[in-house]
Amino acid sequence: MKNKLRSIAVLWVVLLASVAYAQPPTMIKKCQGCHGKQLTGKKKNPSIAGLSYEKLYASLTSDVPKKMKRVTAKLTEIQKAELSEYIFKLDKP
């Protein structure tokens, strides 16, 4: 329940801030390093372009793949929400 409330609070902060991204968040480079410049997959890493916000956010918070744990540990909850929102809003492949 506590995690759910935290997630809702983070989502509200992001939504209320109404940040329009003229440029991608700087943290996106971490994603592109493994998932490719267009986030459509690279080598053994899957595409993340076209995933839902919920799936992206879960992969950064509660359902983190083993390979991503070191990277996600360095991100704040706000950064995780911003990345999820930005990737979700990209043109679908």
pLDDT digits (tens, 9 = 90+) for 15-50: 655 455 457 888 999 999 999 999 999 989 999 999
* CB proximity list for 7: less than 8 A, separation 6 or greater: 57, 61
Render pLDDT for 53-86 as a digit per residue (tens, 0 to 9). Answer: 999 999 999 999 999 999 999 999 999 999 999 9
Alpha carbons 52 and 67: distance in angstroms, whole number: 20
Q: What is the CATH number of domain 2-89?
A: 1.10.760.10
Please state the φ and ψ torsions of residue 47, each to the nearest 5 degrees: -70, 140
Q: Where are the domains of the chain?
A: 2-89
Closest CA to 82 of 13, 29, 2: 13
